[in-house]
Amino acid sequence: MCFIFVSQLASASFYVRPRAGAAVPIDGGSSSYSVGLTAGYQWLSFFSTELSYTRLFAINNGNDGNTVRAAGVLSTPIGILAPYASLGVGWVNTDLPAPFEDVNNYMTTIGAGISLLKIAFLSANVGAEYAIVSGGGQDFIEPYVSVGLRF
């Protein structure tokens, strides 16, 4: 039992990945491009935690914004690939033009995707997150890709 736990800890690593995608509101409102950064720590071969920041750039007369989120990620390594599922919480800020004040809401995120595990010092993933936004904000789906460094 102890040997299994120690071997799982041997896979611990830190990673940083720039990310790009699109935030698409469920109700058909204005979409946004998203660019940002995800930093995470892989505690065990099947569990990691992440912190992400994204900047949202509106398409067509929408409003720009920002998101910050933290998530737990469960994965199943299969060779060099690892399907994953995530659950997290976060904050979304919508920039409104003057004289209006920006709108801030909390969100819960549910995600899934597939990761390409560490090859040399690189890793990549493709996934999507569904964000449930509180306070009357627009729920959205954010498909994204990311490639970065794993230490």
**What's the average model confidence in pLDDT over 2-8?**
43
pLDDT tens figures, 89-148: 999 999 888 788 889 999 999 999 999 887 888 889 999 999 999 988 889 999 999 999
% residues pLDDT > 90 (the chain): 68
What Å distances lie between residue 53 and 8, 48, 58, 126, CA to CA?
28, 17, 16, 17
pLDDT band at 11 (very low <50, low <70, confident <90, very high): low
What pLDDT sits at residue 30? 84
Name the H helices within the chain.
Answer: 2-9
Q: What is the mean pLDDT of the chain?
A: 89
DSSP 151: -
